[in-house]
Amino acid sequence: MPSNKINKKKIKKSGPKGKQILSPKGMHDVLPEEAQARDKLYKVAKDVLEFYGFGKIETPIVENAELFSRTVGESTDIVEKEMYAVRSRGKEHLVMRPEMTASVVRSYLEHGLHRLPQPQFLYYIGPAFRHENPQAGRYRQFWQIGAEVLGGESDPIYDAQIIIAFSRLLGELKLKNLIVGINSIGGTADRQNYKKKLLEHYRLHNKEICKDCMRRMKTNPLRLLDCKSRSCQNIIDEAPSVLDHLSSPSKAHFKSVLEFLDEAGIPYVLKPRLVRGLDYYNKTVFEIFTEDDEKGELSLVGGGRYDYLAEILGRRSVAGVGAAMGVERVLEAAKERDPSFGTPRSKKRVYLIHIGDLAKRKSISLLEEFREAHLPIIGNLGKTSLSNQLEAADKAGATLALILGQKEVFEEDIIIRDMKTGAQETIPLKKAVKEIKKRLK
């Protein structure tokens, strides 16, 4: 394990003329305007998911690497290429979490949540990390909103409820043309039989497939259907359908999921080539996407059932189904629909203007009065010029300005200025909160 000490000799000192330090590739800062949009998205997610009975859970950003090599799969791109290793002073092999379902299941088992009434409905909001090529709406540090149903029976109603909850969440954001793409990859025996048929098909095209698919034939045949290489698309289109190779119990499970979605009025399309990129899925797998005339299908949510994930972690089998939504991609779609998404609708802002040191000191206690009354008021106590403060009030979209000068402090008055008309009125300072409350109604 490499030392955790920083080699100062390797760090180039950068003076005034040195190269500017920027954020790492694929990472990005969340500035105030975007933070407001995120807060709105998180509130919608919280309201919808908690309505459906989900309780919030938070897991560490750093986990043991074995958690993901076991569950996500040794042969997946995530484990082979994309995980960020974390230096540790001990012998632990730690990584920044590349996804969060495995973390939630680990926490469920570690803290005995399986002893509570089952199933447990859990949701989370947080960042994950993958070292992949950044794309539009996809970063190396990305945020997810996810939900998992753990324990109880492997009942298809829970598959449907996860899909319904995320469909309603996206609907609350007023996103249009939402469709669920859904498939079943069956149980263990189903997949083994299907893999044989799939490999037979691919062996007929050995000379046509890409290098990654040559490797996948040996390590993870189902992921052949997940290939994005153009050279493999015709081979994928002609591949046998997994839906034709499901056992009777798997067919019955999938049929029930679809019937529940029909009952809820959720539009869906069967996608027999949909397998998802992680090893732990079984039976239902799905994506929720929006159709765009220019961009085509844009996937916003992905998930499925994973009844064997807990068993992979060394415990007994625990039924599980869940999904995760990419925050950056959903925000991008929401802002395309409504560029003002997340910005405050109300322009009824009050701006406090002070003139002189005495008024500045008095402004401190006045601001606290407005805070205690839960009234929106802003100001910049560092400014001194009346004209500069009026200009700032105008730029902030304030409808009213409160002007407090030395004369007003001595006389215990304050001036209310209508920012649109310029009309001014002097009122007793002790009535300022009450008067503003009345005018903002």
pLDDT in tens, 313-343: 888 889 999 999 999 999 999 998 888 888 7
* Sequence spans of domains, the chain: 32-187+247-337, 349-439
Rounded alpha-carbon distances, angstroms, from residue 309 to 79, 159, 245, 316, 327: 16, 16, 23, 9, 25
Per-residue pLDDT at 357 = 93
Tell me: pLDDT of 167 over 50: yes
Residue 273, φ and ψ in degrees, nearest 5: -95, 0
Tell me: pLDDT of 209 over 60: yes
Structure tokens belonging to residue 94: 């730690």
Tell me: pLDDT of 77 over 70: no
Q: Residue 426 forms beta bridges with which residues? A: 415
Per-residue pLDDT at 80 = 66
Per-residue pLDDT at 181 = 96
Highest mean pLDDT among 30-39, 82-91, 271-280: 30-39
Please indicate whether residue 147 or residue 376 has the higher confidence score (pLDDT).
147
Q: Name the class of domain 32-187+247-337.
A: alpha beta
Overall average pLDDT of the 159-174 stretch: 96
Overall average pLDDT of the 306-312 stretch: 91
Please indicate whether residue 215 or residue 369 has the higher confidence score (pLDDT).
369
Per-residue pLDDT at 113 = 95
Give the amino acid at 53.
G
Per-residue pLDDT at 131 = 87
Per-residue pLDDT at 2 = 41
Per-residue pLDDT at 343 = 78
Look at strands 282-292 and 296-305 and give their pairing: antiparallel
Report the chain's mean pLDDT, rounded to a whole number.
89
Please indicate whether residue 3 or residue 51 has the higher confidence score (pLDDT).
51
Judge residue 237's burial from the number of C-beta atoms within 10 Å of its C-beta, 0-12 exposed, 13-18 middle, 19 or more buried.
Answer: exposed
Per-residue pLDDT at 1 = 38
Three-state secondary structure of the chain = CCCCCCCHHHCCCCCCCCCCCCCCCCCCCCCHHHHHHHHHHHHHHHHHHHHCCCEECCCCCEEEHHHHHHHCCCCCHHHHHHCEEECCCCCCCEEECCCCHHHHHHHHHHCCHHHCCCCEEEEEEEEEECCCCCECCECCEEEEEEEEEECCCCCHHHHHHHHHHHHHHHHHCCCCCEEEEEEECCCHHHHHHHHHHHHHHHHCCCCCCCHHHHHHHHHCHHHHHHCCCHHHHHHHHCCCCHHHHCCHHHHHHHHHHHHHHHHHCCCEEECCCCCCCCCCCEEEEEEEEEEECCCEEEEEEEEEECCCHHHHCCCCCCCEEEEEEEHHHHHHHHHHHCCCCCCCCCCCEEEEEECCHHHHHHHHHHHHHHHHCCCCEECCCCCCCHHHHHHHHHHCCEEEEEEECHHHHHHCEEEEEECCCCCEEEEEHHHHHHHHHHHCC
Percent of the chain whose predicted confidence (pLDDT) is above 70? 92
How many C-beta neighbours within 10 Å does residue 407 have?
A: 14
Measure the CA–CA gap between 346 and 32, rounded to whole angstroms. Answer: 17
pLDDT in tens, 82-122: 888 888 777 789 999 999 999 999 999 999 999 999 999 99
Per-residue pLDDT at 17 = 63
Confidence of residue 3 (pLDDT cuts 50, 70, 90): very low
Overall average pLDDT of the 227-238 stretch: 88
Overall average pLDDT of the 377-383 stretch: 88
CATH code matching the domain that covers 349-439, chosen among 3.40.309.10, 3.40.50.2300, 3.40.50.800, 3.30.420.40: 3.40.50.800
CB 76 within 8 A of CB 277: yes
Tell me: pLDDT of 274 over 60: yes
Measure the CA–CA gap between 303 and 325, rounded to whole angstroms. Answer: 9
User: pTM value?
Assistant: 0.85
Per-residue pLDDT at 304 = 96
Measure the CA–CA gap between 274 and 400, rounded to whole angstroms. Answer: 56
Rounded alpha-carbon distances, angstroms, from residue 180 to 187, 300, 306: 21, 10, 19
Measure the CA–CA gap between 60 and 194, rounded to whole angstroms. Answer: 37
Q: Peptide bond preceding 127: is omega within 30 degrees of 0, i.e. cis?
A: no
Per-residue pLDDT at 18 = 72
Kindly state the greatest CA–CA separation across the chain: 93
Please indicate whether residue 312 or residue 291 has the higher confidence score (pLDDT).
312
Please indicate whether residue 135 or residue 280 has the higher confidence score (pLDDT).
280
Q: Any idea how long the chain is?
A: 441
